[in-house]
Every structure is written in C-alpha cells, then in structure tokens.
C-alpha cells in the first residue's frame, strides 16, 4: 500500500485562554489517502474546525498552540514546526481550504476575480495580467458563468452560494492535491447546499483531489465520503468506512448522532436526540469524555479506553466495543 497523502498523528491544539486551558484538539490521528474523501463529523464545539486549521498552522495563535509531539505529514513532509515560508508555499498550492461563512470569508473591498487571481499570483502561476483571465476561467468552471458581471462584482453583491462557489474557485486554482472543506454548506439554503456538493463532487472527480470534509450533517457524509471520523470533545471516538458507520455504529455517541437524524431509516425513524450538550472545551470530563451523556455509562468509563480495534480499519473508543457481540447500538 502506498503512503497516504496526509498523515496526522496525535495532533493536540490547545488554547491558553484567560478562563483556563482549552484542549480543543487533544490527540487526533488519522490518514487521508490519495483520491480519498474523509469526513469528520461531530456536534459543534468538538474541535473539528480547530483540527482542520491546525493542519496548516492556521489556528488562531495566540492563544492557540499545536503541542509538542503532534505530527502532520503531507506526502511524508512534516508540517508541524515547519518553516513559515514553507507552510505558506503549501497553503493554497498543495492544500486548498474553504470555510463555513462564504460571505465573510471573502475580502469585502476587492472584486471576486482579483481575489481568485491572487491565489494564482502568490504561487507564481503568472503575473496579475495573466492571472486575471485564468481566474475568469476558474469562475466559469465553478458555475459562475456570467463571468464579466460576477467576476467584477464585490462579495456583498453576490449571494451566499455564489460566494461559496468563488471560494471554491480560489481554493482549487492551483490544483491542490487536498481540499479541506470546513462545513461548506452549513450556512447555505437547502437547495444551494445540494448544488455546492455536486460542484465539489465534480471537481473532485475531474481533478482526482483528496478531500477532508467537515460537517455535522450525516446526510452529507453519506453522499460524499469514503471514510468517516467521528469527533467528540477534542478526540476521535470512532472511525470506519461510511457503510460501516451508518449501518453498524459502535460508539454510543455515533449511535446518538444517527438517532437524532429525523429521516434516518435506522432505529425505526424515531427521533432520539442525545441528552445534554458538549461541555466547554476548558472542562472536558475525565475518563471517557462522553461518560456523562452516555446511556451505557458504567464504572469502568472513569478511565478512558484506547481507540479499540474491533475489526479491519475500524476503531472505536469505547469499552463496549471490545466485546465483539456487545455493540452499543444493539
């Protein structure tokens, strides 16, 4: 098996805040293979965005810091502690990123086509003069066909969906090998969400990109991803292929997420939201962090299980998962 494109090992990003130490990301490990789409799901506040930002050193700092012992490798090259200028080269060229609030993510005082062109210029893909026509082509590729009008427009003159398309054009301008999408459709209308996902799917196929897709929508995961990581309280609690996870969830948290889907065929379509909410990141519980919301909590949960391995490529951080027959979803 060839080396994965992205290897993340024991990533810990902590925020040293006035109100205490926030261990927003606390020991996360995963791989993304070439051409693969990996989803990260979890409620908000679980550390998904911080994970994504930390990969390229984009987390707010101060107060955030990627702690010693963390490792992020892109095609074998270590990125944690890498030279800032080297990181800058990789950003946008090897790894593109898009975000949740497309309208806020664009510079309000510059026309959209200039912002797309900038992505090309900073990576030496030609002068401004050459980059502007190329940026019009890219805008056309993401479905902003009326380029003459849209390209010269400022972000506030475009709808949210159009802004997100422009962001995508910007992120894929230099043909990155990996696209990180942090809740790309959360802020958009339902109809637009589908269009954006289609666009991403098409681009991924045409350019053979890998994708890291962050979402809290399991429907999006089912549609787009090959593999899924479930995050809770700064840690990965379960991983597996999409089919494994949706058909046979093992961690009580994953089960809870699936059960709270209104249209899940699973569990007879009954809506059973998880009780309580994610604790503040400055006060994760000790032991299993899901303990106080878990319907199956037991004395043993006061110590945290390792990411247990019940089967091929599957990992579950739960004591229940160790006994092969005793799946928590039962």
Considering the rule CB under 8 A, would residue 106 count as an interface residue with other proteins? Answer: yes
Q: Which stretch binds other proteins (CB under 8 A): 104-112, 232-240, 279-287, 298-306?
A: 104-112
Q: Count the neighbouring beta carbons within 10 Å of the beta carbon of residue 19.
A: 9
Q: Which stretch binds other proteins (CB under 8 A): 33-41, 119-127, 241-249, 313-321?
A: 119-127
Given candidates 13, 37, 49, 135, which one binds Mg ion under the rule CB under 5 A?
A: 49
CB of 143 or CB of 279, closer to ligand ADP: 279
Tell which positions 60-99 bind other proteins, by CB under 8 A. Answer: 62, 84-85, 88-93, 96-97, 99
The per-type count for the chain, helices as H runs and strands as E runs, is: 11, 13
Q: Which does 45 bind (CB under 5 to 8 A by kind): other proteins, Mg ion, ligand ADP, none?
A: ligand ADP
CB of 15 or CB of 319, closer to ligand ADP: 15
Considering the rule CB under 6 A, would residue 159 count as an interface residue with ligand ADP? Answer: no
Q: How many residues bind ligand ADP (CB under 6 A)?
A: 15
| Residue 230: HSE in the Cβ half-sphere, 13 Å Cα cutoff | 27
Q: Which stretch binds ligand ADP (CB under 6 A): 1-9, 41-49, 102-110, 190-198?
A: 41-49
Which residues contact ligand ADP by CB under 6 A? 15, 17, 22, 24, 42, 44-50, 60, 63, 281
């Amino acid at each position: 098996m060839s080396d994965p494109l992205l290897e993340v090992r024991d990533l810990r990003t902590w925020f040293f805040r006035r109100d205490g130490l926030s261990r927003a990301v606390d020991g996360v490990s995963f791989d993304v293979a070439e051409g693969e789409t990996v989803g990260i799901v979890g409620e908000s506040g679980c550390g998904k965005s911080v994970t994504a930002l930390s990969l390229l050193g984009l987390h707010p700092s101060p107060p955030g810091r990627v702690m010693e012992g963390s490792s992020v490798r892109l095609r074998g090259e270590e990125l944690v502690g890498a030279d800032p200028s080297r990181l800058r080269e990789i950003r946008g060229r090897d790894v593109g990123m898009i975000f949740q609030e497309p309208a806020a993510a664009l510079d309000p005082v510059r026309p959209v086509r200039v912002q797309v062109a900038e992505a090309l210029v900073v990576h030496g893909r030609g002068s401004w003069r050459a980059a502007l026509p190329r940026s019009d082509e890219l805008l056309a590729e993401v479905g902003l066909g009326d380029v003459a009008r849209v390209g010269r427009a400022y972000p506030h003159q475009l709808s949210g969906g159009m802004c997100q398309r422009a962001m995508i054009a910007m992120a894929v301008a230099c043909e990155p090998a990996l696209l990180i999408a942090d809740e790309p459709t959360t802020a958009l209308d339902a109809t637009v969400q589908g269009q954006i996902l289609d666009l991403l799917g098409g681009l991924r196929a045409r350019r053979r990109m890998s994708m890291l897709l962050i979402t809290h929508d399991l429907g999006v995961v089912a549609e787009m991803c090959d593999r899924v990581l479930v995050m809770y309280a700064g840690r990965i609690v379960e991983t597996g292929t999409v089919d494994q996870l949706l058909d046979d969830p093992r961690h009580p948290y994953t089960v809870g997420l699936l059960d709270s889907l209104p249209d899940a065929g699973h569990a007879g379509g009954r809506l059973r939201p998880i009780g309580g909410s994610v604790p503040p990141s400055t006060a994760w519980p000790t032991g299993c962090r899901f303990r106080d919301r878990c319907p199956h909590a037991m004395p043993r949960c006061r110590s945290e299980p390792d990411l247990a391995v019940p089967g091929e490529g599957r990992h579950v951080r739960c004591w229940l998962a160790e006994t092969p027959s005793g799946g928590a979803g039962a």
